[in-house]
Amino acid sequence: MKEPLAAPHNDTGTARGTVTAVRGNVVDVRFEDGLPGLTHVIRAGKDNEMALEIMAHLDDHHARAVALTFTQGLAEGDAVVATGGSLRVPVGDELLGRMFNVFGKPIDNGEPLGKVQEWPVLRDPAPLSSQRAGDEVFMTGIKAIDLMTPLERGGKAGLFGGAGVGKTVVIMELINNMVGVHEGVSLFCGIGERCREGEELHREMKEAGVLDSTVMLFAQMNEPPGTRFRAGHAALSMAEYFRDEKKQDVLLLVDNVFRFIQAGMEVSGLMGRLPSRLGYQPTLGTELAEFEERISSTQDGAITSVQAVYVPADDFTDPAAVHTFGHLSSSIVLSRKKASEGLYPAIDPLASGSSMLVPDVVGRKHYDVAREVRATLASYEELKDIIAMLGMEELGRDDQLTVNRARRLERFLTQPFYVTEQFTNYEGKLVKLEDTLDGCARILDDEFRETPESALYMIGSIDEAGR
């Protein structure tokens, strides 16, 4: 059987076509002089203000595109023109302190950028020969994360949780804590964000004085799925510029990856592909891998990523969560049960984990303390059913001591955040790892057995418990 001939391409940017069908965000176009390549952007409408991305070649003269802008007013017979390449975004120091959409246009009511360098949003990951394996811990100042799930410099960390358990708050606190500690660039990518969240983040970062070393890129909830699907790629191109050209470390915060997957699912449905498990796109694994593999360390710098991942209905067997887990070096799981008990950040240390938590990387003391904390909390979890049925009095002395330690550890691992001061009236704390290890070790040694649990709640170092 002969291979079908490939459709003739016209990648010069001169291809002109005609709209043959408009179905919402899907537009079919006929080209007489050869088809633009896949992922190439074509323009339509008055002043070419509408952007569409070629997603499939139907035959030698017809292509199917997904809209990156709203298509109101586009009709059959309208002219389109090819741009000769895929979507491009501006890069450079001029981006610092600004907020952009997926096209690289400022959306912060500031001055236009002017003439700046542009990079395509779709780029190959750094070659394996130039990537560097990470064995350096990235400190955050958040006790529960630094102790139980240390982040890797140049690695990928995931914040997993359902709706309303505090993913965005933890990400905002990470941005705040990086000031003065992280001498690089922070890049916040909001995929499927509410406009309220973007405005609040911009205002708070300006008040905190961190805006000048931060770039923000948003694709809002009300924008077409094609736009939301490309937002993460656009942010990665901006981050890669600072890593490869400026030799800087970049902290990339993505909120959230599930919206990226969801946008891909919508695009897949628009293209008429048969859905896979639970309605997800059949290309879920490939699309996520293409995104995640671009986040890496090289000899020049590192892109360290913290990604919020919404977990539908708190189901961690959902394909979106399962596929994301496989790419991460640290997984921080936020628990609705912890949040309901007022234990913030609502991190579940038993469900969370990190490939960095080994003696060769974090040191023997850190490893031993973290392991003992995990064992104590696990024992307490097993005893909860007995306590609920029979009460604490029926436990043996050793079990009572375990429960005493575990409840104090749970409260010590809570922490007041700077970004929530106005809501909680607790002054924000940034805690060094040494203070966290010292506090946990002293609780495990029963030094605070007679201290009220409330004295350990929402404090920084353990020395504050005696005040």
Q: Give the Cα separation of 147 and 309 in Å (integer).
A: 21
Amino acid (1-letter code) at residue 141: G
Amino acid (1-letter code) at residue 360: D
Region of residue 394 (phi > 0: left; psi between -120 and 50: alpha; otherwise: beta): alpha
Q: Give the Cα separation of 384 and 389 in Å (integer).
A: 9
What residues are labeled active site? 167, 193-194
